[in-house]
Structure 1
Amino acid sequence: MSSGAEDHAHGTAMAVADALGARGEAHVWWWRTPEHTDPADLPLLDTEEFRRALSLPAERDAAAFVRSRAAARRALAGLFGLGPGEIALGRRSCPGCGDGSHGPPKLVVPDLGLPLSMSRTAGCGIFALGAGASIGVDAESVRPVRGSATTDADLTAAERDHLAALRPGPERDASFYRIWTRKEAVVKATGLGLSGVELGLLETHPGRSGPVRVTHTHRGRTTAWTVEDLRILDGVAVALARPAGPAAHGPVHHHTDH
């Protein structure tokens, strides 16, 4: 690409990012994960991602990982008017320890300062980008929940009471995964992951349809998050967390990449 074309492409991407930020929007893409690695996905991986894919012992897991990284680049390319091969992904430093090997995902090229989040579950991948300083998305395949899970220490007393009031079956299963994805979306948005807080301290208000406000405290600092459930695919619970406040309260645009 010539220098002039590069400048034009960067200008287009910046304009899209500025508009997204001004409206406080988020974009969420989802796709089915394949059973086998698609050769068309491989050229979009960087060296480290390729090595990680090779290290995964199960073909299904490797195929899901490869598709997720390739699909994320295709999604961003479509949004910003670039080629998928022009998109570079990396990681931010962990806000807890400063380590750059396990922080949240980062958009390296184009460098637009927009937060990213990714999640995979059985048969499905999710990718999110949004306005504001942070974003977190989590997806979980809904499956039958054992009775012991409803008394787990990772649940608050109010969450346990909510589940205990429900008969075993689809409604209770859906409520459990609504709780779990809301918690995971928040800890992803903080960048700290599961090591950053005791999940039993995160109150997700499962009786409310949402959006809900969830607070997270780490080393004496409390942050507030707006969390909403997304209807993406039957049998999959998905939650999106964005910073509480007007900067990230715009619409969420859904995209399907089959």
Structure 2
Amino acid sequence: MALREEGAPGTAMSVAGAMAARGEAHVWCWRPPERTDPADLPLLDTEEFRRALSLPAERDAAAFVRSRAGARRALARLFGLEPGELALGRRACPGCGDAGHGPPRLVAPPVPLVLSMSRTAGACVLAVGAGSAIGVDAEALRPVRAAAAVDPDLTAAEQRHLGALPTGPERDAAFHRIWTRKEAVVKATGLGLSGTELGLLETHPARPGPVRILHTHRGRTTAWTVEDLPLAEGVAVALARPAGPAAHGPVHRHPPTTAH
């Protein structure tokens, strides 16, 4: 899959270079269909097609297929390419080195950008950015039980914050703000939930953000800048980038759509 002529306006490499110079990111959100759209299927690779077939619920399969096809369409528009020229893969897990469950990466075109994806009821989200890592998480807002205030995956400060809120939309939003911030960070690290003690990951839910969150794994602490993104009604979204210049650039939010 070759890039278009080097130096031509809108080439993938020039777009990536401009994003890196500004430390910026792009985030897209799609509303997945209830049933798999046949127009999405030709954009999947063999492994993605097999995974879609393995999902027992039609709605889940449709969302997975749209997330992969939508990512290729969005990135193609960004880079000035055709969707079929985009190839997605995975980086090796930084915890164990296994390439089977590491964070997503852009295989083609081979530009120095990082990717993250998330799916939830009613939304698929893609983030692409400059820097060494990026993480995005989306969660559909749902009522949370009173017991959420003592969830062991929450820090003591997070438990106090939730416990002080009345049952209802405000507490629901606070819980999902905490959870998406945690997941955005663990996705950015590439370690996932299994590589993190969530009860030690402090998200500062009382602050509107951006917030600085510290993540420690095997004695090494990294710092992340995390912000909440209002992308779609009824969906909480958080974006994590390494603290420092790579997180200081603008985030370009693309509005929710069901279109191809």
TM-score (norm. length: structure 2) = 0.96
Deviation at 1:4, TM superposition (A): 9.1
Partner of 2:64: 65
TM-superposed CA distance for 1:123, in Å, is: 1.1
Q: Distance in 1 between matches of 2:15 and 2:60?
A: 33
**After the TM superposition, which residues 70-89 of structure 1 pair with which residues of structure 2 at under 5 Å, given as runs?**
70-89=69-88
Question: Contact 2:10 / 2:80 at 8 angstroms: preserved in 1?
Answer: no
Separation in 1, partners of 2:195, 2:152: 16
2: CA distance, partners of 1:143 / 1:4: 43
Instruction: Work out whether 1:181 is the aligned partner of 2:186.
Output: no
Q: Where does residue 252 of structure 1 map in the other structure? A: 251
Matched residue, 1:233 = 232
More helix by share: 1
Please say if residues 94 and 100 of structure 1, whose CA atoms lie closer than 8 Å, have aligned partners that are also in contact.
Answer: yes
- Residue 173 and residue 4 in structure 1: after superposition, are their counterparts in 2 closer, same or farther (change >3 A)? closer
Q: How many residues align structurally? A: 257
Between the aligned partners of 1:5 and 1:182, the Cα distance in structure 2 is 37
TM-fit CA distance, 1:246: 1.3
Given that residues 9 and 82 in structure 1 are in contact (C-alpha distance below 8 angstroms), is that contact kept between their aligned partners in structure 2?
no
Residue 157 of structure 2 corresponds to residue 155 of structure 1: no
2:141 paired residue number: 142
Matched residue, 1:48: 47
Q: Which residue of 1 aligns with 2:170?
A: 171
The TM-score, its normalising length taken from structure 1, stands at 0.97
Structure 2 unaligned residues grouped into runs of 5+: none
Cα distance in 2 between the residues matched to 1:74 and 1:9:
20
Number of the residue aligned with 1:92: 91
Q: Percent identity?
A: 77
Q: Distance in 2 between matches of 1:171 and 1:197?
A: 27
Name the Cα RMSD after superposition: 1.5
Deviation at 1:157, TM superposition (A): 0.2
The 2-side partners of 1:55 and 1:102 are apart by: 17
Give distance in 1, aligned partners of 2:138 and 2:161: 21
Structure 2 distance, partners of 1:101, 1:136, is 18
Tell me how far apart the structure 2 counterparts of residues 109 and 232 of structure 1 sit (CA, whole Å). Answer: 27
Partner of 1:24: 23
* SS of the residue 1:231 aligns to: coil
Shift of 1:142: 0.6
